[in-house]
Amino acid sequence: MFEAFLTQHDTATWARTREALLPSMHEVDRDATRIWFHFFPLALAQAFARTDNPDRLSQELFLEGNYRLAEQCDTSHWFLYGHRYWPQVKAAIIAQAESQSPSPRLDLPAIIRDIAGKAASAAGLKDDTLVIGIAAVGLMSLQQVGLTAFRRSAGVNTTVSGGLTKAPAQIVAARKRDDGQGLLGFLRGIKTEYSVTFDERRADGRFTLINKQHMTTAAATDKRDYSGGPRLCQEGPIPIRCRSASCGSCWVGILGGAGKLSDVEPLEARRMREFGYINSTDSKPVIRLACMAKASGNVTLVIPPWNGIVGKAGLGGA
């Protein structure tokens, strides 16, 4: 049974698989794929599968927002470019799951590549580079929620009415580009203001940041109402409470501009590890606490739908 095959793969195996596939992915989705795996850690899903009291577990882990992947199988990966091919990817995954169990000689990366190839063909793509990431995400989603829940959702592409209409290379270039600084900035030879994009689907999904300002401080200047989302947002689009790396509410994934952020300091690294968001020695990782990270250029980020303290329980992602 294919689901039984998937359950043989733990967090470490998936981390190795993901990293092995990254060179084959289009650049537009390399960091996005890594971010998704941090947003939806396998260990957390397994903990909820084992418990007979999910409400108590969510309280013990101080979970807030929507951490239930089964409720967002079709939307959790909206920030991947490959999401627009989700109907084809999902169909290929279901077909694979309903087929006979894979040969023992096949490994997880090979199965993902096979699914990506079939989805690319169904979508009329010349190669599979744009769907390898979303294929890996989809297969991990299947492992976490099971085939019944995976099939239950509609399998639609939710970017159709959104703002992601640029070609992959254009999106990559836009994420690297900084705002022009106007005549005064040019004459002074300094750059003073940049844009932080938090939702690429929206033309207005951004706020202004002053050079070397913390991202949460800049976000608080955005006075629009963000109270309708899955998490509590009181000051701008990034959920924030403490501004001192104590609460974990302001974690974000960095889609573009990671190199324009300040290096991770020991406090931020330790707290992200305790929260279970990321355990990395990289000075500029794809997951950051927005209250600790200062920007010196345009940054593109994505805000996860939940926060909590899962690292101390050993439930974080790799």
304 falls in which pLDDT band (50, 70, 90)? Answer: very high
Q: Which two tokens stand for residue 290?
A: 């927005």
Q: Which amino acid is at 224?
A: R
User: Are 209 and 143 found together in one domain?
Assistant: no
Sign of torsion, CA 69 253 47 14?
positive
What mean pLDDT is reported for the chain? 91
**Closest by CA position to 26, among listed 212, 231, 175, 198:** 175
**Residue 161 covered by a domain:** no
Q: Quick count: other Cβ atoms within 10 Å of Cβ 301? A: 28
* Average pLDDT, integer, range 56-61: 95
Q: How far, rounded to the nearest angstrom, does the alpha carbon of residue 183 sit from its chain's CA centroid?
A: 37
pLDDT confidence of residue 27? 97
Q: Where are the alpha helices (DSSP H) in the chain?
A: 2-7, 11-21, 27-39, 42-50, 54-60, 86-98, 108-123, 132-145, 147-152, 168-176, 182-188, 215-219, 266-275
User: Are 72 and 136 found together in one domain?
Assistant: yes
pLDDT confidence of residue 85? 97
- Rounded Cα distance between 184 and 230, Å, is 41
User: Are 6 and 147 found together in one domain?
Assistant: yes
- Rounded Cα distance between 53 and 293, Å, is 36
Overall pTM > 0.85: yes
Report how far apart the first and last C-alpha atoms of the chain are (Å, whole number): 26
207 falls in which pLDDT band (50, 70, 90)? Answer: very high
From the number of C-beta atoms within 10 Å of its C-beta (0-12, 13-18, 19+), residue 126 rates as exposed
User: Are 137 and 271 found together in one domain?
Assistant: no
Domain boundary (118, 152, 186) is at 152
User: Are 96 and 216 found together in one domain?
Assistant: no
Total number of domains in the chain: 2
Q: Quick count: other Cβ atoms within 10 Å of Cβ 182? A: 11
**Residue 118 covered by a domain:** yes
Q: Mean pLDDT lowest for which of 58-72, 187-201, 275-289, 293-307?
A: 187-201
* Average pLDDT, integer, range 86-102: 89
199 falls in which pLDDT band (50, 70, 90)? Answer: very high
Per-residue pLDDT tens digits for 251-278:
999 999 999 999 999 999 999 999 999 9
pLDDT confidence of residue 315? 82
183 falls in which pLDDT band (50, 70, 90)? Answer: low
From the number of C-beta atoms within 10 Å of its C-beta (0-12, 13-18, 19+), residue 107 rates as middle
**Closest by CA position to 206, among listed 234, 170, 175:** 175
User: Are 6 and 142 found together in one domain?
Assistant: yes
pLDDT confidence of residue 23? 96
Q: Mean pLDDT lowest for which of 91-105, 176-190, 256-270?
A: 176-190
List of residues 6+ apart from 162 with CB closer than 8 A: 78, 201, 202
Task: Give the domain extent around 273.
Answer: 168-313
**Residue 59 covered by a domain:** yes
The H or E element containing residue 210 is strand 206-210
Quickly tell me which residue has 């990321």 as its tokens: 278
User: Are 108 and 201 found together in one domain?
Assistant: no
**Residue 18 covered by a domain:** yes
CATH number of the domain to which 200 belongs:
3.10.20.30
**Closest by CA position to 207, among listed 217, 197, 216, 193:** 197
**Residue 57 covered by a domain:** yes
Q: Quick count: other Cβ atoms within 10 Å of Cβ 213? A: 18
Instruction: Give me the numbers of helices (H) and strands (E) for the chain, helices first please.
Output: 13, 9
305 falls in which pLDDT band (50, 70, 90)? Answer: very high
**Residue 163 covered by a domain:** no
User: Are 172 and 299 found together in one domain?
Assistant: yes
Q: Quick count: other Cβ atoms within 10 Å of Cβ 103? A: 10
pLDDT confidence of residue 161? 47
pLDDT confidence of residue 29? 98
- Residue 123 Cα distances to 92, 128, 261, 305, angstroms: 11, 10, 37, 29
User: Are 288 and 240 found together in one domain?
Assistant: yes
**Residue 286 covered by a domain:** yes
Domain boundary (122, 152, 182) is at 152
User: Are 295 and 244 found together in one domain?
Assistant: yes
Between these two residues, 217 and 104, which has the higher pLDDT value? Answer: 217
Domain boundary (119, 152, 185) is at 152
User: Are 110 and 232 found together in one domain?
Assistant: no
Per-residue pLDDT tens digits for 138-159:
999 999 999 999 998 766 666 5
* Average pLDDT, integer, range 50-72: 95
Per-residue pLDDT tens digits for 103-115:
556 789 999 999 9
Dmax (CA) for the chain in angstroms is 67
Between these two residues, 81 and 162, which has the higher pLDDT value? Answer: 81
pLDDT confidence of residue 121? 98
User: Are 304 and 181 found together in one domain?
Assistant: yes
